Amino acid sequence: MKLILIGAPGSGKGTQAKYLTEKYHIPQIATGDLLRAAVAAQTPLGRQAKAIMDAGQLVPNDIVIGMIRERIARPDADQGFILDGFPRNIAQAEALDDILDKLGKPIDAVLQFDVDAEMLIQRMIGRLTCISCGALFNLFTQPPVIDDKCDECGGMLHHRNDDSEEIIERRLQIFETLTQPLSDYYKHKSVLHIVEAHGDVGEVTKRVKSALRGLRPKRTPVKPMLAPVSAVPKTAKPAVTHTRIETPKPKLRPRKKIKTLSGNTTVKKLEIKKELPKVVSKKAIKAANKKKAAAEATAAKAAAEEEALARELDAKLKQLQEELKQTKAQLKEAASAEKALLKADKDKDAALKKALHAETAKLKKEKK
């Protein structure tokens, strides 16, 4: 089964992906995991991605798609796979379709997880992730038994710095801008299934089962690369197709003599049928190009906003780290001052005790 999961951050894609991997025994493929693994393994694509990320830029589509192509070609993906969060735009979707067509593995279904924005914000604000095993928890809907401890492995739970209400709302706006064209793209291909992702995990899982019920994995012959069809010139003549009209076989009847002309028997006629090639109008081409350009511009704008947001977050993080460093220095200075005061008080007490002792000795001497 070849599946794509799309949905806003916090919509539950990761949770349902784990259920689907166990049900179909197929791998879950996420671009973030692929990037980290490729960088750690120092593959050629991983080295390119690392250089780009170190420069503070977004990894381009061709590198991400190359990693997806390599991952899908592995033996454990022969029976299918689950793409979590990929593709994110029309360009990636078209490139993925091209790869899968060549492999003869078309997508069986695209599950889009829809959740109310307020619920998404609540989910993401309360979201906790285990640093060790990656298990997910939520302070509001699925809290851990012990605070800050993973129920599965006992590891520390981590709350992402970018899971604040203001940043989440910005991320949701960017997602909506990119997702609507993608949703329409897969709806046109008749593989899109909308899953209402509100409620608890069990309820959402039931809706996923219902969406996939009766689906069978698709397989198509591996297609060779076809040369692009050249445009039809204006001066081209209409194609002429010769079609032989075959008459149905008559019922068996007694033979009759066939009259002939000039000694020749009757001949079946050939009918010439002219078919004009379908030519797309210039107006339609311009409209399609305009729509594509608008979609690409929107995607580029959203990507730029996402990159700017990431830089803004990095700057805030650096500022917080600097403030923390200054606070630590001030605390250290205050501790040193407090230590000096305590020592001065101690010395003063010792001097007073010594003076008191001397005064007491003097008085005793005078009494004698």
Q: What is the 3-state secondary structure (H, E, C) of 283-325?
A: HHHHHHHHHHHHHHHHHHHHHHHHHHHHHHHHHHHHHHHHHHH
Predicted local confidence at residue 237, as pLDDT = 44
Does the active-site annotation cover 255?
no
Shared-domain flag, residues 81 and 188: yes
pLDDT of 209 over the 50 cut:
yes
What is the model's pLDDT at position 25? Answer: 93
| One domain, residues 158 and 44 | no
pLDDT band at 273 (very low <50, low <70, confident <90, very high): very low
Distance of alpha carbon 121 from alpha carbon 171, whole angstroms: 10
Answer whether residue 284 is part of any domain.
no
CA 120, 123, 124, 128: dihedral to nearest 10 degrees?
-160
Instruction: Answer whether the bond into residue 224 is a cis peptide, omega within 30°.
Output: no
Tokens of 114: 């829809």
Overall size of the chain counted in residues: 368
Are 65 and 20 within one domain? yes
Q: Is residue 352 part of a domain?
A: yes
Selecting among 13, 71, 105, 123, the annotated active-site residue is 13
Catalytic residue among 2, 71, 123, 171: 171
∠ Cα 174 158 312 (to 5°)? 40
Which single residue is written with the structure tokens 């390119």?
48
Q: Are residues 200 and 73 in the same domain?
A: yes
pTM of the prediction? 0.51
Using CB atoms within 10 A of its CB, is residue 114 exposed (0-12), middle (13-18) or buried (19+)?
A: middle
Q: Active-site residue among 2, 71, 105, 127?
A: 127
The reply to whether 127 belongs to the active site is: yes
- Beta-sheet pairing, 81-84 with 28-30: parallel
Looking at the predicted structure, is the pLDDT value of residue 91 above 80? yes
Number of folded domains that form the chain: 3
Give the 3-state secondary structure of residue 57.
Answer: coil
Q: Is 171 a catalytic residue?
A: yes
123 is catalytic: no
Claim to verify: residue 62 and residue 110 sit in the same structural domain: yes
